[in-house]
Amino acid sequence: MKEDYYDLLGISKNASAAEIKKAYRKKAIEYHPDKNPGDKTAEEKFKKAAEAYEVLSDPNKKARYDQFGHQAFEGGGGFGGGGMNMDDIFSQFGDIFGGGGFGGFGGFGGGGQRRVKGSNLRIRVKLDLNEIANGVEKKIKVKRKIQAKGTTYKTCGTCNGSGQVTRITNTILGRMQTASTCNVCGGAGQVIDHKPSDADQQGLIVSEETVSIKIPAGVEDGMQLKVSGKGNEAPGNGVAGDLLVAIEEKEHPNLQREGDNLHYDLYISFSEAALGASKEIDTVTGKVRIKIEEGVQSGKILRLRGKGIPSVNGYGRGDLLVHVNVWTPKTLNKEQKEFFERMAKDEHFMPNPDSKDKSFFEKVKDMFS
């Protein structure tokens, strides 16, 4: 079981943003790889602390974590958080110590070479209800920029590899020092020394790659997954961007989705309603046979528990609600008309609802309860 993010940083759930940042800084200093060379345990704790900070420092991710725990970020590289590597950490949180306050360890603080991150890519993946209900692994062809073979880099002469340019200005308050991203290397600290003729100005070429995406059960239309490191690469010593996967849900011919529940319209004849019947219906786990009791009324809702969609957060599974609709024939022959005319005043054909026959509003209330 994964450790609680608050426990990892040694803070309470009511900790402020400043307290979260301070706690992470303390842990990162303690377990930084430069301070613990070759110590795999320290490196793992360093990564876990960064993962915890990545979630708790983001108000939206923190709210989801507080509500759903680690399950809010499971599957397909995560919905945020989880599976961070050193490149992710140094590129995202390299300024956490500001002003060179980390004694010159690589990757953090002022004076350390900034690691530029490549741009993200976005794709849409269409899924049917069966794939959503069971989870699926998709192999998608993606065109992404990668470093061209033969491309070499050299230290930027403008910033001397720091990625930043420092300027000192004389003001009435004294000498002021400011630092800004180097406009020559874009903060990478390196510039191209040599590149092939087919590469762009950054030494990158477009390559098609097949990416495997694990999509967890229960995702919804519009939800976005992140596959870390499968976006465009960055020049020099930069880290690759991410592949953002937007989920698009295909319409099912017979089933309608509502959250984790599914709805199915079942049409039966007068005879089946009066005599009872056995009917086969579609579900996301295959066909099932249900029994229709004799005397069933149109509008009756049958609940098949656990036959809906699994919760993406791991909280059980929805139900399948079967709506019984008694089909009224639109055309009758002479013999059929005579039969119904005889039955028009028969007491067995006269409406006579009792307490068990709920109103429309009661049925709707039950459906959402």
DSSP for 187-223?
TSSEEEEE--TTS-TTSEEEEEEEEEEEE-TT--TT-
Given this model, what pLDDT does residue 97 score?
A: 46
Given this model, what pLDDT does residue 177 score?
A: 76
Given this model, what pLDDT does residue 99 score?
A: 40
Helix axes 86-93, 40-56, angle to 10 degrees: 50
**DSSP secondary-structure letter at 58?**
S
- Whose structure tokens read 């092939």? 196
- What whole-number distance in Å separates Cα of residue 95 and Cα of residue 25? 11
- What whole-number distance in Å separates Cα of residue 368 and Cα of residue 346? 37
Residues of the chain with pLDDT under 50: 75-82, 97-112
- What whole-number distance in Å separates Cα of residue 23 and Cα of residue 365? 48
Secondary structure (DSSP) of 274-329: HH-EEEEEEETTEEEEEEEPTTPPTT-EEEETT-SPBPTTSS-B--EEEEEEEPPP
The residues that bridge with 204 in the sheet, in sequence order, are 147
- What whole-number distance in Å separates Cα of residue 185 and Cα of residue 193? 12
The pTM assigned to this predicted structure is 0.60
Q: What angle do CA 50, 56, 59 make, to 5 degrees?
A: 140
The closest of 213, 209, 268, 261 to 233, measured between CA atoms, is: 209
Given this model, what pLDDT does residue 360 score?
A: 54
Neighbours of 290 (CB within 10 A): 16
Helix axes 40-56, 17-31, angle to 10 degrees: 170
- Whose structure tokens read 């579609």? 282
